[in-house]
Amino acid sequence: MTRSTLTFGNIGLSYRSRDRGGEPQRVLDSINFAVSSGEFTVIIGRSGSGKTSLLNLAAGFQLPTDGSVLLDGIPIRGPGAERAVVFQDDALYPWVNARDNVAFPLKLRGVSKENRRKRADALLSLVGLSHAADRRIWELSGGMRQRVGIARALASEPRFLLLDEPLGALDALTRTKMQGFLLDIWKKSGAGALLITHSIDEALLLATRVIVLSPNPGRIAASIDTGFAAELLAGATPEALRSSGLFKRTHEELTGLIHRLSPEEELAA
């Protein structure tokens, strides 16, 4: 796969106020960064910091008020298969089974039924769900659903995986398992990943780079390169990583960054 870059070029996003004559609400301001395929970028920030808006802009569900999001230099004008999204609330289709959910992006592209089935089965095997191909969505656990959602996103052969807190609704044990799994899949797919999360711990374990957003309006407060994901991929356990001094220091630093931003917000409110 050729190297691809998703560039946020001086992005600003404002929402028009609901009451007439009201000040427009600034959601994102002066966002500048780029994500390349092969990178795992995690966006972290408190509620209201515009994390989800940032992902929506990358997906093309929304267009920025200022600046533009570029894919390999070309401005994004809408959603596209090269930027597949995995949703927090899985967004799988209950009227078809797991296999047909995974095959859905292929169906949109007019791939023949036989090839769809082959490809979907291969992807389900990649996410460890070969045995569940014929099951309906409501028969699957939360973790299994997210794995189907990831397999479905991979089916569209994206250059970037956009992950909107996909592990947010899972219980702690499943979440830890899914983190390792997600990292593994990302490495195998060769795609770039952009993950939104509330969890500093998750950010440190998965990211090659963590971007911290500050709220009101959402701005980049810090961008930190980390190497824990590489260690995790190399076989280190999450527990071992968490107990290292560097992990604890970085965790504290990020916690400080995110909390430092709160009094300002309280004053504004």
Partner 1 sequence: MTIVAGLSEKLSNDAAPGTTAIRRRRVPTSVISALTVLALLLVWHFAAAAALVSPVFLPPPLVVAKSLWTLVTEGFVDSTLAQHAAASLGRVLAALVASVAIGVPAGLLIATSRVGRGILDPIVEFLRPLPPLAYLPLIIIWIGIGEASKVTVIALSMLPSIIIATAAGVRAVPKDHINAARSFGATRAQVLLHVILPSSVPSILTGTRIALGTGWSTLVAAELVAATRGLGFMIQSAAQFLVTDVVIAGIFVIAIIAILLEVVARALERWIAPWASVR
- Applying CB under 8 A, which part among 22-30, 99-107, 171-179, 258-266 lies near partner 1? 99-107
Q: How far apart are CA 27 and CA 244, in angstroms?
A: 36
DSSP string, 155-198: HT--SEEEEESTTTTS-HHHHHHHHHHHHHHHHHH--EEEEEES
For the purposes of burial, counting CB atoms within 10 Å of the CB of 76, is it exposed (0-12), middle (13-18) or buried (19 or more)? buried
Q: Which is nearer to partner 1, 95 or 173 (CB)?
A: 95
Site string for partner 1, 103-122 (x = CB under 8 A): -xx-xxx-------------
Does residue 156 contact residue 80 with C-beta atoms inside 8 Å? no
**Which of 6, 50, 54, 83 touches partner 1 by CB under 8 A?**
83
Q: How far is the CB of 125 from partner 1 (least distance, A)?
A: 20
| 170 lies in the binding site for partner 1 (CB under 8 A) | no
- Dmax over CA atoms of the chain, in Å, equals 60
Collect all residues with Cβ–Cβ distance below 8 Å to 61 and sequence separation of at least 6: 79
- 58 to each of 148, 168, 180, how far by Cα in Å? 22, 20, 24
Q: Which stretch binds partner 1 (CB under 8 A): 10-18, 26-34, 75-83, 261-269?
A: 75-83
In the complex with partner 1, the residue whose CB is nearer, 141 or 237, is 141
Taking CB under 8 A as the binding criterion, the range among 6-14, 147-155, 184-192, 217-225 that sits at the site for partner 1 is: 147-155
61 near partner 1, rule: CB under 8 A = yes
* Closest CB to partner 1 among residues 15, 93: 93
Q: What CA–CA distance (Å, rounded) separates 240 from 218?
A: 33
Which helix (H) or strand (E) segment holds residue 5: the answer is: strand 5-15
Residue 230 beta carbon to partner 1: minimum distance, rounded to whole angstroms: 28
The residue type of 131 is H
For residue 139, the minimal CB distance to partner 1 (Å) is 9
Please report how many Cα atoms fall inside a 13 Å half-sphere around the Cα of residue 229, on the Cβ side.
24
Q: How far is the CB of 152 from partner 1 (least distance, A)?
A: 8
Size of the site for partner 1 (CB under 8 A): 29
Q: Least CB distance from residue 212 to partner 1, whole Å?
A: 26
Residues that bind partner 1 (CB under 8 A): 59-61, 78-81, 83-85, 87, 89, 91, 93-95, 104-105, 107-109, 136-138, 152-153, 155-156, 162
